Amino acid sequence: MGMTEYERILFMDADTLAVGSLGSLLDMQQWLNHPSKRVAAAMDFSRGSWTRSWNSGILLLKPDATEAAHIYSLLTDPGKQEVARSIPAVDGDQSFLNWLYPHTSEAFARLPLEFNGMSHVEVLQPHVWAEVMPKLHAIHFTTRKGWGCPERYERPAWTIDSAKPCPRTGPWVDGVRSAELCYCSVGYLWWRAMSSVPDSGKRKHVQQRLRY
């Protein structure tokens, strides 16, 4: 129980993509070296500012059977379920995990943004994105998914000013030229990754499943 046969577990959402080495991310001595440390993740950016919660799209976990049993009891024990049910379910697992391991707790270790490059930062904090983009290790397509970005295989000429015409809230309209690359400055990396799948039939199947 608790996957304790592993020293560490790296969780990556289906809308994430490794674009660099993850070796330093898996370095337990750097992130989860203290016995009290349980999880390492990057802080979240929402509604125009950095929040007090962390993003669970990419997280490093230290397996522990006792801890796993405790979490299981919170979700299944009738005497404890009321506590779990009181947590806002806005972000699903992320809300629960932030309640369980607040960023201020000893159990949490903060990862730099380059290990969870949330693509909405491109528009909402373009200066930060310009600094992080060259050293990204993993991308998290938080607003427009990689498969929803224009099919291209070369990096677009993105600058800080590229974010100005992009809608900051609400849906965008595909096909509007000024918005085609909004939230998609690194979308080409997803298309490159898909093109490397050897079986073209399998690649098309994956693309269709992701789109629908």
Domain chopping of the chain, boundaries: 9-112, 114-211
pLDDT at 3: 85
Q: Write the pLDDT tens digit of every residue in 112-128.
A: 999 999 999 998 899 99
- The more confidently predicted of residues 10 and 93 is 10
- Strand ranges inside 15-62, DSSP E: 16-18, 39-46, 49-61
Rounded-to-5 percentages of helix, strand, coil across the chain: 40, 15, 45
pLDDT at 173: 45
pLDDT at 159: 86
Give the range among 63-67, 77-81, 125-129, 136-140 with minimum mean pLDDT: 77-81
Please report, for residues 7, 98, 121, 129, 173, the alpha-carbon distance to residue 107 in angstroms, rounded to integers and kept in the order given: 16, 11, 26, 28, 42
For 207, other C-beta atoms within 10 Å of its C-beta total: 15
Dihedral in degrees, nearest 10, Cα atoms 31, 33, 36, 39: 30
| Integer Cα distance of 111 and 102 in angstroms | 14
Tell me if 108 sits within 8 A of 54, measured CB to CB. yes
| Integer Cα distance of 182 and 194 in angstroms | 20
Mean pLDDT of 119-145: 92
What's the whole-model pTM score? 0.84
Amino acid at 55: N
Token pair 């007090």 is found at 52
Token pair 């993003």 is found at 55
Mean pLDDT of 140-164: 89
Mean pLDDT of 42-69: 88
Q: Write the pLDDT tens digit of every residue in 186-208.
A: 999 999 999 887 765 555 555 55
| Integer Cα distance of 95 and 79 in angstroms | 20
- The more confidently predicted of residues 209 and 43 is 43
Residue 85 has pLDDT above 70, yes or no: no
- Residues above pLDDT 70, as percent of the chain: 80
Mean pLDDT score of the chain, rounded to an integer? 83
pLDDT at 170: 57
| Integer Cα distance of 59 and 116 in angstroms | 9
Token pair 């976990």 is found at 61
| Integer Cα distance of 174 and 124 in angstroms | 19
pLDDT band, very low/low/confident/very high, at 16 (cuts 50, 70, 90): very high
> Could you tell me whether strands 138-140 and 16-18 are parallel, antiparallel, or unpaired per DSSP bridges?
antiparallel
Residue 103 has pLDDT above 70, yes or no: yes
